[in-house]
Amino acid sequence: TRISRPEPYYNNDYINENCNLIQAFHQEINQLTEILEPAKLYLSRQELLINSKVRSDKTKKVIALQPFGSGAQITADNVLDTSARSLNRLTLQMLIRRLRQENYDIYLITDKPIPFVNSEDFIKHQPKQIRDIAASIAHCDYFVGIDSAGQHIARCLDKPGSVIMGATSAVNTSYPDYFNIIETNTEKTYMSYRLCEFDFWLAEIENSEILNLNKDQARIICDNVIDHIKKTT
């Protein structure tokens, strides 16, 4: 009899940024190290039909945009996120402006009101259920976001995309062999979640300014994203 302790955050490959969370679970539970195929997400015809309104203009490409992590707090003029995963106000506003200038429609994925953006810049479609969000992404041509649920849905649906990384590791939490990964700071201090309370707290403090980008940094990211959209859609 073997007793498994399915705690991937203590997995050696995960700690050293050599595998993602799914692969770490696979090693801990099944004692196997072969690379798993990407997960697939299957949607019903009804789910796809109900959310087809995300393509209101058939002549335009639709970009799914998820700018914030789940823990982000939106203030009147900025974004607070202790996990350092969310875009700041300047970067988000510049990215929206650039996407609109390229004549793309934008499907904004968020459950939070954002006082510093114009709602007229987005498709009037805001489903609340996760499978409806997934079905909406299925109708999009491209995904732009951060380390959050949207990127995993987009990967399951084989959508091209750009993921802007903050404090978390692209190998641990994203798909660097598939997405266009944009690292804003390669010198960041990263600590796997739950490994040690003190180290996790220290990493959050040291990484707190990673996505607090200035105008030049935001412009480089926007150029990168637009260029990749044009290459892949």
At residue 199, the pLDDT reads 64
Beta bridge partners of 145: 66, 163
Residue 150: CB atoms within 10 A of its CB come to 24
User: Is 187 a residue whose pLDDT tops 70?
Assistant: no
At residue 82, the pLDDT reads 83
Instruction: Please answer whether residues 105 and 62 qualify as being in contact, where contact means their C-beta atoms are separated by less than 8 angstroms.
Output: yes
Residue 146: alpha-carbon gap to chain centroid: 3
At residue 190, the pLDDT reads 59
Nearest CA-CA partner of 138 in 24, 206, 53: 53
Region 121-141: mean pLDDT is 97
Distance CA 181, CA 23 (A): 19
Give span(s): CATH 3.40.50.2000, the chain: 60-232
Region 173-202: mean pLDDT is 75
User: Is 63 a residue whose pLDDT tops 70?
Assistant: yes
The superfamily in CATH containing domain 60-232 is Glycogen Phosphorylase B; (3.40.50.2000)
pLDDT band at 5 (very low <50, low <70, confident <90, very high): confident
User: Is 191 a residue whose pLDDT tops 60?
Assistant: no
Higher pLDDT, 57 or 114: 114
Report the run of H or E that residue 66 belongs to, with start and end.
strand 62-66
Give pTM, 2 decimals.
0.91
At residue 129, the pLDDT reads 96
At residue 8, the pLDDT reads 85
**What pLDDT digit, counting tens, does each position of 27-62 carry?**
999 989 898 999 999 999 999 999 999 998 889 999
User: Is 209 a residue whose pLDDT tops 90?
Assistant: no
